[in-house]
Every structure is written in structure tokens, then in C-alpha cells.
Structure 1
């Protein structure tokens, strides 16, 4: 009974080893670059060589060393390519990306080459052929719309392409906003059509309310040129000359050739009217703040306008820092004390701690004393009384 259990254990171990060996051979057969039939022949030849060496060695044949040498040379010639591949395979895979096939991507080089040669219809056909394989590719849809708008002057087709792009679920909101903004640019630049450009930008505001994308679109709407302005830009510039001042060299008072500046009251009214239509017009609100402070001496109104900009949810850090520094400039310019200006600049440290903006603000705070000193009015130096009309005397002075 003891002998039977030992025999069964040996048989089980042998079967396990055989199964492991078969698994190794199967994996080898699957991963090898050799043809399966060629690889099996190599295995058979290797087995015969090993049996020949074992037979010659076991029976101590006189030509056993010669058999071992011949079989060794044969096996080295047989397996050297596989051994080299196995040793250098990790390095080769690190360089080429292993045996994984490359990720399929659309190819637009041919379409772009045809577009450069003026074959716009053929280029558009190639782009659409790629889009048939990759229907969610943003680059392809924008390239098709660009060919339609800029080369074929088909803005309706470009808008249809952009609208299809915007209905693809895989496209991000940023990509959709870029596509709509580009379409608005085409309507302005190519179609000279501000009405359709305004429609596209308002569509962008409606699709993404309370976002940075909507704020940017609203600011573009605030600066949208009119049809008359676009018509003036198409025509050659005409310079209207005024009649000059006669006897300009005999004028008793200095002559100013520049046109008089626009009155501050009229300028402020224009800024306020613009902000009523477009409250997110950052540039106009900043100009109004500076006008309130410098022209009307109303620093309180200027601070209110700048505070609206600083607290705006769509303002980026760079803009916020710029407006806080501008507020500090106005405070210094209009007589606020050093503690007030320091508190204004310290807001940057609170809003953006550890940032480059905070480092710049800290440097300016440390140099506030010098900044105030530079803005002080220089004392007037009273000069002595000298002999007048010295150059008109009949004789040289002694």
C-alpha cells in the first residue's frame, strides 16, 4: 500500500511537470515570431540532439565529445536568433512600445496637401472619409468647417458642420465654445456679417450660462463691430484734411494742432451706456474707474467700479491682481495714506498665498515708502534775480 501511494505521488508530480512544460511550450508558441511549424521542427531537432548527447555520454562512447561538440554547434546556430531576441526584447520594447499595435488615428496630411494645391473639394472629401472612420474627431470636423468657410466661402455649410460637432456627446464644452467662437470670427472676417456673429455668440451664452465661456462671449459681444464699421474697413482709407492755420509763425499764443479731447462728462456717459448694455465689459469698467478718479476726483466711485471687477466670478487671477494694483495706484495718486494702500495690496497675499502674485505684492509693500516719496511734489527752488535782457545789451558785460 505504501508503494502504491508513492507511485501515485510520482505520477501526479510527473503529470504536473508535464502540464507545466506543455504550458510553457504553448506560451512560447504563441509569443514567438517564428512560424509554428518551424518552431516545432526546432523543438524536435533539439530533442534529438539532447538524446544523442545523453546516449553517447551514458554509454561512454569514444566519440561522445565529438557528438556533444557537433550537437552544441548545431543548437547554437538553431537557437541564437531566439536567444538574442529574448535578451534584447525588453530594450527593444522600451524603444518601440512593445508588440502592441499603434492607436488608430485619423490621417489628414493628404487632405491638407490637396488644400494647399487648391483642390478644395478633394481635400474636403478626404476629410469626410476620415470622419466616417472617426466620427468623434474634433480636429477633422474643424478642418472640414475651415475648408468650407475659408476656401469655399460656404459659411452655411461651415455652420452646419459646427452644429453637428456641437451635438457629439464626446466633444467637451471648451471645444464646442472654441468652434462657435471660430464660426463667429468667420462671419465677421469672411462674411462681413455682424448679425450672424452676434447670433452665434448669444447661442454660446445661452448654452453655457454662468461660466467663463459665457463671460468671454459677452465681452466679445460688447466689442462687436457694426455693419457700418465693417463697410468702412473694406473701403480704402480716406483722410479728410482741414484748412490749416494761416500765419502760424506769427501767433502770439502756442498753437495746438491736435483735436481737443472729448469732455469727461461725455466720455463717462458713453462708458455708462456701454456698461448698461454689456455689464461684463471689463475694459470699459476699468476705463470708467480711472476716469472717475482722475477727471472727477471721485475715488469712491472708482473704488466701487474696481471692486466690482475684483469680485467678478469670471475674472482670472492675473486680472484680479492687475485691478488691485490699479486701485493702489489710484489711492496713492489721490492722497490715501500708506496704511490704506498697504491694506489694499495685502489683499493679494490673502487671495493668492504662496503664488508669484503674492511675492510681487510683498515686494511692492516693502517699497511703499519709496513709492510715496517719489510721488511727493518736489520743493520749489527760488532762483536769484539776474540782469535781464543780457543778450540784447550793446556791449558785453564785464
Structure 2
């Protein structure tokens, strides 16, 4: 019973080693050679024991050492690899099989050379193996619309892809945003572009992609601006409105009450139609703080931004920093600024921005004192 158990255990170990080996034939040769050497060693020792005399004491150790050296030479590479495996696995991933992925480098190279038909053939070759791969379908559509001026074929290709595959929010939003850009650039159809962005909201509600689609729609209201803007990926609130001021730069037009009021009115009208446009709301907040001195309203607008769902952590951290900025610069209420920053830490204790906010809390008094000193100096920012 004992010998059968050890035999079964040895067989399982041998089978497993053969399965994991890169060269099973070579491993079998090693095992056969090792077994032959062990049998030879055992038979030789048995013969020496039967012969008796001084031969066993003299030849036995020599034969054992010689066979041990030969076995060591046979297995040294395998033993070395086994000892080094934990270190090498840190860099090459070990024996875990690599997930198969499509390879588009050849297609990209052919496209750069202007060999569009060959590039499409390479992409389709990969898609036969990976029919649901988004990158391949988008690359095909890009060649059709950008290189071959076949916009209809590109739209039909991606529309069919969206219908035949259940995509996640990230991939689906990427494809629909790309189609929206092409609607404007190649079909000159802003309304259809807005429809594609709305489809993101419909297909992926309560996601970050839906929130970004809301922001994008708020900046796609002016057809003429969309058709003739220089940067196809840049969207302003409205074409006739000036660009937002940087939060760290007080508005130079603070003395122009009429211009300030027009700007405020335009932003408020825009937010009535697009209440989820955080960039416009953020600009309105700084208009209140810098130009009108309405710090409570500025804080309120930034709080509305922070309360919106599915906002990235970086934006939330920025808005909390800006609320603290307003208190440090204008109200001098360091405690309230500290409370605002601490509320972010409590809500997101493990966020990457939390250590930075914690460090800022320690220097709030210095920030507030320096800001108030600047405001008290005439000619520094237009205030006395």
C-alpha cells in the first residue's frame, strides 16, 4: 500500500512537471537518464557488497560521487531556473498565460504608408479572431472617413457595431463621441451630433460618461460655432461669450458694471437651460466673488457643483479648494475654509487628493493673512 501511494505521488509529480515544461521531450530524456544512473549505481553497490573486502569502502564513494556529479550536471539548469523563478516572475509575469489581444501594428504601419486597402485587410484579419474589439472597428471607420472620404461607410460600420455588441459605458461613450465629432466635421450636421451625445445619456444613465455628455451638450448650443470652430474638440459655453477667467486672476473688468452684469445674465440664462454645466457654474461663482463681492453666492454655486453626481475626484477636490480660496482671500474665515477642506477628507479619505488637502489645511492661516495683505494694498488688484 505504501509503495503504491509513493508511486502514484511520483507519477502525479512527473505528469505535472511535464505539463508545465516548455520542452517535455527534453525533460523525459533527463528523467530516463537519471533513472538509468540510479539503477546503475544501485546495481554496482549491490555487486560490491556481495564481493565484500576493501572494494566497497574504496570504490563505493567514488562511484557514488561520480554518478552524483553526472546527475548534477543534468539537472543544474533546471534547479537554477527553479531557484531564480520567484525573482524572474516579478518581471515576466511567470507561467501565467497571456491574454490574447488583437495586433494592429502592421495595419497602422500600412496606413501611414498610404496603403489603406492593405491596412483594412489587416484589421479585418484581426477582427475575425476578435469580432467584438472596439479599437479595430474604430480604426476601420477612421480609414473610411478620414483617408477614403467614405463617411457613409464609416457611420454604417460603427452604427452596426453598436447594435450588435453590448458595450460598457466607457467604450460605448467613446464610439458615440467619435461619431458626434464626425457628424460635425464631415456631415456638417450639428443636430445629429447632439443626438449621438444624447444617446450616451440614454444608454448609460447614472455614469460618469452620462455626466460628461451633459457637460458636452451644454457647450453645443451654437450651430454656427460648431461648424466653424478651429479646434474640433474644444467647446465653449457660447460663441459670443468671453472665455472664463482663471480663478487666480481677479477680473480686470470689475469696474465695468454693465459688462459684468451682461456676463452674469448670460451665464444665468445658460444655466437655466443647462443646469448641469459645471464649467459655466464655476465661472459664475468666480464672477460673484471677483467682480461683485457676493462671496456667499459664489460658495453656493461651487457647492451646487460639488453636490452633482458622478463627478471625478479631481473636480471635487478643485471645487473644495476654490471654496477655501474664496474664504481665505475675501472673508478671512480660516475656520470655515478648514471645515470645507475637512469635509472633503471625511467624504474621500482614501482619495489621491486627500494628502494635498491635508497639507493645505496646515497653512491656511498663512494663506489668508497673505491674501488679505494683498487686498489691503492699493493698486495691487484694482481694489483699495
Fold shared per TM-score above 0.5: yes
RMSD after superposition: 3.8
TM-score after normalising by structure 2:
0.70
Matches within 5 A, 1:51-130: 51-60=43-52, 73=66, 76-77=69-70, 79-91=71-83, 93-94=85-86, 95=88, 101-130=97-126
For residue 14 of structure 2, the aligned residue among 28, 48, 52 is 28
Per-residue deviation, 1:139: 3.5
Question: Residues 67-216 of structure 1: matches in 2 within 5 Å?
Answer: 73=66, 76-77=69-70, 79-91=71-83, 93-94=85-86, 95=88, 101-163=97-159, 164=161, 168-169=165-166, 171-216=167-212
C-alpha offsets along residues 42-80 of structure 1, whole Å, 9 cap, x if unaligned?
634642453133113322378765698578647754x44
Secondary structure at 2:180 match in 1: helix
Summarize deviations over 1:234-262 as a string: whole Å, max 9, x none. 7xxxxxxxxxxxxxxxxxxxxxxxxx997
Match of 1:352 among 341, 345, 356: 345
Q: Structure 1 residue 201: deviation in Å?
A: 0.6
Secondary structure at the residue paired with 1:210?
A: coil
How many aligned positions are there? 335
Find out whether 1:220 has 2:216 as its counterpart. yes
| 2:35 match: secondary structure | helix
Q: Closer, same or farther in 2 for the Cα pair 1:360/1:98, shift >3 Å?
A: closer
- Higher alpha-carbon deviation: 25-34 or 190-199: 25-34
Kept in 1, the 8 Å contact 2:184–2:227? The answer is: no
Deviations, residues 201-245 of structure 1 (Å, cap 9, x unaligned): 1101112223322221111112227443355457xxxxxxxxxxx
8 Å contact from structure 1 (residues 115, 123) kept in 2: yes
- Structure 2 CA distance for partners of 1:365 and 1:138, relative to 1, 3 Å: farther
Aligned with 1:47 (options 33, 39, 43): 39
Deviation, 1:115, is: 1.8
SS at structure 2 position matched to 1:221: helix
Instruction: Tell me the residue number matched to 2:240.
Output: none
The equivalent residue for 1:17 is 3
Asked if 2 retains the 8 angstrom alpha-carbon contact of 1:141 and 1:162, the reply is yes
Distance 1:68 1:90, change over 3 A: closer
Q: 2:13 and 2:323 mapped to 1: Cα distance?
A: 73
Partners of 1:320 and 1:59 lie apart in 2 by 90
List alignment gaps of at least 5 residues for structure 1.
1-14, 235-259, 380-398
Question: Does the C-alpha gap of structure 1 residues 74 and 324 become closer, same or farther in structure 2, counting only changes over 3 Å?
Answer: closer
What does 1:366-385 correspond to in 2, within 5 Å? 366-377=366-377
**Residue-by-residue CA offset, 1:177-208 (whole Å, 9 max, x unaligned):** 23322332333445444233211111011122
**Contact 1:29 1:36 survives alignment (8 Å):** no
More relative contact order, 1 or 2 (CA 8 Å, 6+ apart): 2
CA distance in 1, matches of 2:328, 2:45: 99
More displaced 10-residue stretch of structure 1: 110-119 or 136-145:
136-145
Instruction: Say which structure is richer in helix.
Output: 2
Say if 1:306 and 1:104 are closer, same or farther in 2 by CA, change over 3 A.
closer
- Cα separation, 2, equivalents of 1:114 and 1:324: 49
| Residues 148 and 155, structure 1, Cα contact 8 Å, conserved in 2 | yes
Write the distance in 2 (CA, Å) between the matches of 1:292 and 1:300: 9
Distance across 1 between alignment mates of 2:359 and 2:368: 14
Q: CA–CA distance in 1 between the matches of 2:329 and 2:285?
A: 13
Q: Do the aligned partners of 2:30 and 2:74 also contact (CA within 8 Å) in 1?
A: no
Per the normalisation by structure 1, the TM-score is 0.68
Matched residues in 2 for 1:37 and 1:44: separation?
Answer: 11
Larger Rg: 1
- 2:236 is matched with which residue? none
Structure 2 residue ranges without an equivalent (≥5): 19-23, 231-255, 380-384
* Partner Cα distance (2:213, 2:118) in 1: 34
Contact kept, 8 Å, 2:104 with 2:123, in 1: the verdict is yes
